[in-house]
Amino acid sequence: MPKSSHDVGFFYRESFYDKSYRSLIKICHKTSSNMVSYLFYFIDYLPLMNDQTPNTADLDTDFISVGLTAINTEQEALALLKNELDERFVQACQAILACRGRVVVTGMGKSGHIGRKIAATLASTGTPAFFMHPGEAGHGDLGMLVQGDVLIAISNSGQSDEIKMLIPVVKQLGIPLISISRDRRGFLPKSANIALTLGNFEEACPLGLAPTSSTTATLALGDALAVALLHARGFTSNDFALSHPAGALGRKLLTRVKDVMHTENLPVVRADTSLDKALLVMTGGRLGLAVVVDEQDDVVGIFTDGDLRRKLADNVSLSAPMSTLMTKHPKHTTGEMRASDALTLMNECAISQLLVLNKGRLEGVISIHDLLKAGVS
């Protein structure tokens, strides 16, 4: 006998899966009146529940065709966006460049997600920026916004209640407001100092409801702002590296030749050193080469394992001086060069080692194996 709603549910499912109304009646006779009422409540409600069950997916859908249509729709939105870039875009860039504080980006829902990405892109390309949630801003987080900042508010309709609530305070603080919306008709663009618009286009969503084309266009506009500002600031890859210290990108941008080069027990010989003596120095250095210097310790050449094999094949005398065997004007770099650039140089010149010089004198030696071991690529 069922003693709880869980038990009733079990018997209920048993009865209906067997499509046996008689078994359900038997259950009712064995249960209390409350349980009977509970069962028949579900019996009455079952048709409504079935009506709300989602339709079975259409497996015959041409997924590729639908996907291409969505992409084409968003491409059309981006084409319309290009027509919206005018003097207002220039004014927005100038306002951000003149900003002595931070750029604060806000937006609700999907616009908020896009706003977070825009803020992150700005911050990593030389424009201090962060995202402020408009809902939380109305409950204290608006204190993040101070005089000297610039606010970028995103709302496709221009009517987001959470953002509208913030406008009076923004105006009172005298903070420049840049809006991003579909057109200029909403409350937000009418309140903004600079109203950037996306254009009138269709969403890729066939229902015209889910933000698709509009979020793509907003993201592209944010990227356009970031790239334009990057150019205006003269932002370089060295600047970029300072905000990306982690991971493979950080290693590529921040690791210098001086960080991985060999500096101890360097195999150095004079130009008049004989080959047999140079071989002893090469063996002790364990770098597969000897660096040849003159009387002033300026580097004048290099002699590698490869050179040795070729010379021995030519029956060169072991007493021959290095000045007649070395490769003159060897490829070299400086300790300040990026390790990734040194790797590129080695690949271009088809060599596996580089000398590191400072005003013509040897500072170190770096090999392709050192770079790969350090995770530079």
* Cβ-contact 106, 151 below 8 angstroms: yes
Looking at the fold, whether 109 and 174 belong to one and the same domain comes out as yes
Looking at the fold, whether 36 and 128 belong to one and the same domain comes out as no
Indicate the number of domains in the chain: 3
Task: Indicate whether 246 pLDDT > 70.
Answer: no
The pLDDT score that the predictor gives to residue 257 is 92
Looking at the fold, whether 277 and 368 belong to one and the same domain comes out as yes
129-147 average pLDDT score: 93
Give the Cβ contact number of residue 51 at 10 Å: 7
291-296 average pLDDT score: 93
Task: Indicate whether 279 pLDDT > 60.
Answer: yes
In a domain, 128, yes or no: yes
Name the one residue in this structure whose structure tokens are 């066939």: 206
- Which DSSP string corresponds to 176-217? -EEEEESSS-SHHHHH-SEEEE--S---SSTTS-S-SHHHHH
Task: Indicate whether 40 pLDDT > 70.
Answer: no
Task: Indicate whether 69 pLDDT > 60.
Answer: yes
- Non-local (6+) Cβ contacts of 254 within 8 A are 241, 245
Looking at the fold, whether 167 and 96 belong to one and the same domain comes out as yes
The pLDDT score that the predictor gives to residue 13 is 46
237-242 average pLDDT score: 74
The pLDDT score that the predictor gives to residue 33 is 52
Identify the weakest region by mean pLDDT among 51-65, 224-238, 276-290, 310-324: 51-65
The pLDDT score that the predictor gives to residue 52 is 53
In a domain, 244, yes or no: no
Looking at the fold, whether 231 and 366 belong to one and the same domain comes out as no
Distance CA 301, CA 322 (A): 9
Structure tokens at 63: 């997924």
HSE value, Cβ hemisphere, 13 Å, CA-based, for 46: 11
Looking at the fold, whether 274 and 201 belong to one and the same domain comes out as no
Task: Indicate whether 60 pLDDT > 50.
Answer: yes
279-283 average pLDDT score: 92
Q: Where are the beta strands (DSSP E) in 47-184?
A: 103-107, 129-131, 150-154, 177-181
Task: Indicate whether 268 pLDDT > 80.
Answer: yes
For 99-116, the pLDDT digits (tens) are 999 999 999 999 999 999
The identity of residue 204, as a single letter, is A
Give the closest residue to 288 by CA, choosing from 270, 320, 266: 266
* Cβ-contact 164, 34 below 8 angstroms: no
Task: Indicate whether 136 pLDDT > 60.
Answer: yes
Task: Indicate whether 56 pLDDT > 70.
Answer: no
Looking at the fold, whether 211 and 95 belong to one and the same domain comes out as yes
The identity of residue 3, as a single letter, is K
Task: Indicate whether 253 pLDDT > 60.
Answer: yes
Length of the chain: 377
29 against 194, higher pLDDT: 194
The structure's pTM equals 0.66
Looking at the fold, whether 208 and 270 belong to one and the same domain comes out as no
Q: What percent of the chain has pLDDT over 90?
A: 67
Looking at the fold, whether 220 and 268 belong to one and the same domain comes out as no
Task: Indicate whether 191 pLDDT > 60.
Answer: yes
Looking at the fold, whether 151 and 40 belong to one and the same domain comes out as no
Q: Indicate which CATH number applies to the domain containing 170.
A: 3.40.50.10490
For the chain, what is the mean pLDDT? Answer: 86
Give the closest residue to 302 by CA, choosing from 369, 344, 356: 356
User: What range does the domain containing 269 cover?
Assistant: 257-373
Q: Where are the beta strands (DSSP E) in the chain?
A: 103-107, 129-131, 150-154, 177-181, 194-197, 268-270, 289-293, 299-304, 327-328, 332-333, 353-358, 361-367
* Cβ-contact 301, 288 below 8 angstroms: no
Distance CA 218, CA 108 (A): 13
